[in-house]
Structure 1
Amino acid sequence: MTEDKFELYERISKENMEFKKLFDEHIRFEQDLEALYSLKYFPPEVETKIKEIKRRKLLGKDRMEQIIAAYH
């Protein structure tokens, strides 16, 4: 993420609680994925968890982009 984009996200987070929640979730999902990817072996339940996190992360990102578009 570029510094400009991060600053925009921070500014909108201060004004929009939904965006702040989505932004915080996005960061948490990224950390969860990093932890799961560090495993040497992915049992089926971990693969399912990875797919679910990616899906939720994408849905949140899409909503964040809608909110950003409304600010322009």
Structure 2
Amino acid sequence: MLKDSALVEKICQVDEEFRKLFENHIRFEQDLEALYSLKFFPPEVEAKMKELKMLKLKGKDRMTQIIIKYKNDNGL
């Protein structure tokens, strides 16, 4: 659902919660990429990676709910 960039952009313009979730999603992805670039993952880094993945997933689930509601409300 997040692959339709035009729809995501439109919803970002009209839904503050969605915009914040989307911005966080991007930030979490960037943080994960930075952690993945490390050659060694100490336990605290692994814990942080797990936390970021969970936050990212929860945000994506909520964004999907908002997209479905937006599509239903707008006859898409």
Identify the residue that residue 66 of structure 2 maps to in structure 1.
Answer: 67
Tell me which of the two structures has the higher relative contact order, counting C-alpha pairs closer than 8 angstroms and 6 or more residues apart. Answer: 2
Structure 2 counterpart of 1:36, one-letter code: L
Deviations 1:39-68 (A, max 9, x none): 000000000000000000000000000000
* Structure showing the higher helix proportion among its residues: 1
**Unmatched 5+ stretches in structure 2:** 72-76
Is the counterpart of residue 16 in structure 1 residue 15 in structure 2? Answer: yes
Deviations 1:5-64 (A, max 9, x none): 112111100000000000000000000000000000000000000000000000000000
Q: Secondary structure at the match of 1:18?
A: helix
Aligned pairs, how many?
Answer: 70
Percent identity between matched residues is 63
Q: TM-score, normalised by structure 2?
A: 0.89
How big is the shift at 1:71?
A: 1.0
For 2:57 and 2:33, the matched residues in 1 are separated by 16
Larger radius of gyration between Structure 1 and Structure 2: 2
